[in-house]
Structure 1
Amino acid sequence: MNTINHQDCLSGMNTMKAESVDLIITSPPYNIGKSYEKRTSLDAYLAWQREIIKACSRVLKTGGSIAYQVGNYVDNGKVYPLDCMLFAFFLENKLIPRNRIVWHFEHGLHCTKRLSGRHETVLWFTKSEDYTFNIDPIRVPQKYPGKKHYKGDKKGELSGHPMGKNPGDVWQISNVKNNHPEKTDHPCQFPLDIVRPLIKALSNPDDLVLDPFMGSGTVAVAAAQLNRNYMGFELCHEYIEIANRRMGKEVFGFSEQLTMF
């Protein structure tokens, strides 16, 4: 535990014990030709992802969750939403769909022949009907915090939860671009503000969080900050070095302010 392994995630997960992980959070490559991936045919990519999801299901505990953050595969102007294309693979492994979280951001590529993409998604599945879900740590402020019931048995009492409301399934969070304070040399990292609420809600302190595609170490950083254990796999040694530097700086400093949760 608490290591990032310089290893292919599929071979790495196949050596792990079954049902050994409490939570899986990851953002796999989208097969769009980034520096950390080799572009293949869409069919080959989907077959590979099918094996990854199967391996994730095997190592996930019965009461565990998987949060799979994906965007679009784009091929010569044709856009394929990966959450839709991967959904059936989770169902094949008898994983239970809980939410399709829409991550909305304001900045990105400006398209000329279609509408500019301004969202990606997080697919949340559980392995059983009995699973960890802590809503209180991720509540957001009520729109009308002083609103009260005006009739009935609860007349005069606050109508909303005093700790805040359920954040819903649309999250507006800045993506990590250019001058973002979390930006590293990784070309496509996802923000701590996506990962932290998932860890808070879907795991407990001392649980083990796995990221099969660790990249710049966002999941490891968030897990350590929130008193969870972590492990992950990453093929690029340069990214492991970036993740380790972030651990030293961000875990022991923990100075960032959450923008939403």
Structure 2
Amino acid sequence: MTDNANTPRNLIINADCIDAMRSFDRGTVDFILTDPPYVTRFRDRQGRTVANDDNGRWLRPAFNQMHRVLKDGGFAVSFYGWNKVDLFMDAWKAAGFRVVGHLVFRKRYASSSRFLRYEHEQAYLLAKGNVSLPDNPIPDVLDFPYTGNKLHPTQKPVEALRPLIEAFTKPGELVLDPFCGSGSTLAAAQQLGRDWTGIELDGNHSRTAGKRLAFRQHSRAAA
């Protein structure tokens, strides 16, 4: 199913998200929910890393394309690295997004311990143009169940993502995740009866997401 020839639905694209989104039509995505690299050179206990987490060159062009494909009056939720918030904020504002909310995801465990025990994740709620208030605003603190990171080194729990999709979309609308990883956003959208599109640079992760969603994936040569 496609909204039109250039904005795919219910498809996972194995490509650089900037290149992929350039082929989408302007203003055809209803909601964006994404967990981009935090630009922190992340490496988990098993030695797994995240593509493009060693640089921030992609930030401005990626969010510029997200703003372009999002409908006027649409929302985006982006996770970010707290110690690189200046880079993310610069990219969001340069793209034209307005920051309208902040979300904290409360963990029952510490992902790491250094100066503090790090027991939360965080995201900003971004808006494009003149937006309407949601009918049922959700809390800005949400629980974050432990996934075990079995499918991806920074796997997000579907249970924490569903309230966001439910609050900011209606059934049948299109949810985009340009950094879809193992497909948690896509699974949450699918469970709620929304259409979805995922883009993932890493071929292994895009295949994992494809199996998880039980849908075909589309491969493009990554730049």
With normalisation by structure 1, the TM-score equals 0.71
Shift of 1:172: 2.6
What does residue 10 of structure 2 align with? 2
C-alpha distance 194-83 of structure 1, shift in aligned 2 (>3 A): farther
Letter of the aligned partner of 1:133 in structure 2? Answer: P
Distance 1:104 1:237 in 2: 30
**Secondary structure of 1:101's partner?**
strand
Tell me: higher relative CO, structure 1 or 2? Use CA pairs within 8 A at least 6 residues apart.
2
1:69 to 74, 79, 84: 79
Q: Distance in 2 between matches of 1:64 and 1:208?
A: 11
Runs of 4+ in 1 over 4 A off after TM superposition: none
Q: Secondary structure at the match of 2:139?
A: coil
1:16 aligns to what?
24
Report Cα offsets for 1:92-138 as digits up to 9, x if no partner: 233222211111212134424x1121112111111122336231xxx
CA distance in 2, matches of 1:240, 1:66: 22
2:51 counterpart (21, 37, 53) = 37
SS in 1 for 2:18: helix
Per the alignment, residue 115 of structure 1 pairs with 116
Letter in 2 for 1:100: H
The amino acid of 1:197's aligned partner reads P
Shift of 1:212: 0.3
Once residues 174 and 83 of structure 1 are traced to their aligned partners in structure 2, the CA distance between those partners, rounded to angstroms, is 24
Aligned with residue 207 of structure 2, among 234, 238, 241: 241
Task: Spell out, residue by residue over 1:49-89, the C-alpha distance to the aligned partner (whole angstroms, 9 max, x if none).
Answer: 121111110111002110001234xxxxxxx1x34441232
Partner of 1:127 in structure 2? 128
Asked if 1 retains the 8 angstrom alpha-carbon contact of 2:80 and 2:88, the reply is no
- C-alpha distance in 1 between matches for 2:53 and 2:210: 27
Q: Secondary structure at 2:73's aligned position in 1?
A: strand
CA contact (8 A) 2:102 2:123 kept: yes
Contact 2:138 2:163 in 1 (8 A): no
1:189 to 152, 155, 172: 155
Q: Distance in 2 between the 1:204 and 1:212 partners?
A: 20
Partner of 2:118, secondary structure, is: coil
SS of match in other structure, 2:146: coil
Structure 1's 102 and 33: CA in aligned 2 closer, same or farther, altered over 3 A?
closer
Separation of aligned partners in 2, 1:210 and 1:110:
29
Q: Deviations over 1:202-257 (max 9, x none)?
A: 111111110001110111111111111111111222212221222249xxxxxxxx
Structure 1 gaps of 5+ residues are 73-79, 136-165, 178-182, 250-261
Q: Distance between the aligned counterparts of 2:34 and 2:90, measured in 1?
A: 18
- Point out the structure with the larger strand share: 2
- Root-mean-square deviation (Å): 2.1
One-letter code of the match for 1:5?
Answer: I
Q: Percent same amino acid at aligned positions?
A: 28
**Alignment partner, residue 180 of structure 1:** none
How many pairs are equivalent?
Answer: 201
> Of the two, which has the highest radius of gyration?
1
Q: Distance in 1 between matches of 2:116 and 2:134?
A: 35
